[in-house]
């Protein structure tokens, strides 16, 4: 009896061990069909860790299905089982196909699994976004973009989340692709959007790319190239025009800057900043008469604009200040000979500047920088009462 008992126990033990060893891809598939995704994931990972099953396309195909289901979960219960289920699904389907060079076994099913991943990728990205998982959202949208490279929405969202996640490489790649997409693609997508904030504007992506390359990559030459390419599509884009002008200025290429500044005023004749830029370029090129007329145009456009008045006022004031600097450097014999005449000349420039700084003080009073300039002008022009008032205003600001 004891011998029989021992044999019987051994038989049970052997059967149990065979059952564990026999656990294959079908077990994971049963759990998948039962919606037990956590169990299915655990089982399939054990299956492919087994050398016997790791060489079967069925194992990898079922693994692809399980990670696809995880990505497709909109309840949030199972989508957190993996941070990159779409990547794992792609890896699995491709592995299954690689294991079938004759395109037999589960090759076609895996090929179809790859083709159908777009919707699960978008679903996973949206669920991650709702959970404030920006990294997961980025991965999901980027995976969806890879699956359908011509679709605008996943690429735009992936690029935005790359920016949020400070993934510079992905952000730059996304912007580069977005600026390469035809405008018609944007028009097609935006036509279906009811709200303005839901629309994508290609010109904005050109701006973002230019800013990124200028500020993060510190690549002036490429920034210039980006601006030129952008202006071929959007010649009236003010921000791009200004960035290009800035690049020319930093490079000391004022002839090119002048041409760019003129185009800026031609395409945006009511843009004050464009006219100010043109005036600055004229000054850099020593074309003072043209600069003066341009700054006058600024004040005509917006008579009470602080910047417009400053541009014209500063043009005259700087000339007067330069003359006074020369007077201050004169020795006594030279001053006795022509100092007074130079002071009168400086006074004429300060007198021209005065109304523009006074208008600035009227529009936006009690600004220390404006008051300090006015005090200097009043002093040169001998306007003691006004100088005293401005000085008291400065003292009050200091207190």
Q: How many CA atoms lie within 13 A of 263 on its CB side?
A: 19
Query: Is the pLDDT reported for residue 399 higher than 90?
Result: no
Give residue 21's pLDDT.
43
Residue 206 contacts residue 230 (beta carbons within 8 Å): yes
CA-angle at 204, arms to 198 and 207, nearest 5°:
160
The span from the CA of 377 to the CA of 219, in Å, is: 43
pLDDT > 70? residue 256: yes
Q: How far apart are CA 106 and CA 113, in angstroms?
A: 10
pLDDT for 6 equals: 35
Half-sphere exposure of 250 (CA within 13 A, CB side): 13
pLDDT for 130-144, tens place per residue? 989 999 999 999 999
pLDDT value, residue 3: 36
Mean pLDDT of the chain: 91
Residue 387 has pLDDT above 70, yes or no: yes
Share of the chain above pLDDT 90, in %: 88
Task: Give residue 197's pLDDT.
Answer: 85
In the structure encoding, which two tokens stand for residue 299, read together?
């004040």
pLDDT exceeds 60 at position 336:
yes
What separation in angstroms does the CA of 190 have from each of 46, 148, 195, 311, 348?
47, 18, 9, 41, 58
| pLDDT at 282 (0 to 100) | 95
pLDDT in tens, 153-211: 999 999 999 999 999 999 999 999 999 999 999 999 999 998 888 899 999 999 999 99
pLDDT beyond 60 at 16:
no
Closest to 138 measured CA to CA, from 92, 87, 95: 87
Question: What integer pLDDT is reported at residue 74 of this predicted model?
Answer: 84
Q: Which pLDDT belongs to residue 1?
A: 35
Which positions ≥6 away from 119 have C-beta within 8 Å? 72
pLDDT above 60 (res 276): yes
Lowest mean pLDDT among 177-181, 238-242, 263-267, 395-399: 395-399
At residue 398, the pLDDT reads: 76
CB 328 within 8 Å of CB 296: no
298-315 pLDDT per residue, tens? 999 999 999 999 999 999
Q: What is the DSSP string of 293-338?
A: HHHHHHHHH-TT-HHHHHHHHHHHHHHHHHHHHHHHT--HHHHHHH
Work out the pLDDT band at 13, boundaries 50, 70, 90.
very low
- Indicate if the pLDDT at residue 20 is higher than 60: no
Query: 3-state secondary structure string, 13-70?
Result: HHHHHHHHHCCCHHHHHHHHHCCCHHHHHHHHHHHHHCHHHHCCHHHHHHHHHHHHHH
**Reported confidence tier of residue 5, pLDDT bands at 50, 70, 90:** very low
pLDDT at 76 over 80: no
CB atoms within 10 A of CB 129: 17
């Amino acid at each position: 009896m004891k011998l029989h008992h021992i044999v019987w126990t051994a038989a049970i033990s052997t059967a149990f061990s065979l059952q564990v060893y026999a656990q294959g891809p079908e077990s994971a598939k049963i759990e998948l069909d039962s919606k037990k995704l956590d169990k299915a994931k655990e089982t399939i990972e054990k299956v492919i860790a087994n050398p016997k099953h790791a060489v079967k396309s069925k194992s990898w195909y079922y693994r692809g299905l399980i990670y696809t289901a995880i990505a497709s979960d909109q309840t949030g219960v199972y989508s957190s089982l993996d941070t990159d289920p779409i990547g794992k699904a792609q890896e699995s389907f491709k592995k299954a196909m690689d294991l079938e060079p004759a395109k037999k076994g589960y090759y076609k099913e895996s090929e179809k699994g790859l083709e159908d991943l777009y919707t699960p990728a978008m679903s996973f990205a949206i669920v991650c976004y709702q959970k404030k998982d920006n990294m997961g959202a980025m991965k999901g949208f980027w995976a969806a973009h890879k699956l359908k490279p011509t679709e605008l929405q996943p690429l735009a969202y992936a690029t935005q989340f790359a920016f949020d996640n400070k993934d510079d490489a992905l952000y730059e790649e996304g912007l580069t692709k977005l600026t390469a997409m035809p405008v018609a693609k944007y028009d097609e997508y935006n036509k279906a959007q009811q709200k303005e904030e839901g629309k994508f504007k290609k010109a904005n992506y050109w701006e973002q790319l230019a800013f990124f390359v200028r500020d993060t990559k510190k690549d002036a030459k490429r920034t210039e190239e980006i601006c030129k390419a952008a202006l071929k599509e959007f010649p009236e884009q003010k921000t791009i025009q200004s960035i290009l002008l800035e690049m020319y200025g930093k490079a000391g290429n004022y002839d090119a800057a002048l041409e760019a500044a003129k185009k800026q005023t031609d395409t945006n004749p009511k843009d004050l900043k464009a006219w100010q830029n043109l005036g600055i370029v004229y000054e850099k090129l020593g074309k003072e008469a043209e600069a003066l007329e341009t700054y006058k145009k600024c004040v005509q456009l917006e008579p009470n604009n602080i910047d417009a008045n400053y541009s014209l006022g500063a043009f005259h004031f700087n000339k007067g200040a330069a003359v006074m600097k020369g007077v201050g450097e004169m020795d006594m014999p030279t001053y006795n000979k022509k100092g007074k005449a130079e002071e009168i000349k400086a006074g004429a420039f300060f007198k021209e500047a005065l109304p523009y700084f006074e208008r600035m003080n009227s529009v936006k009073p009690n600004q220390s920088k404006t008051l300090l300039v006015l005090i200097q002008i009043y002093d040169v022009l001998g306007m003691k009462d006004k100088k005293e008032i401005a000085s008291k205003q400065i003292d009050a600001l200091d207190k």
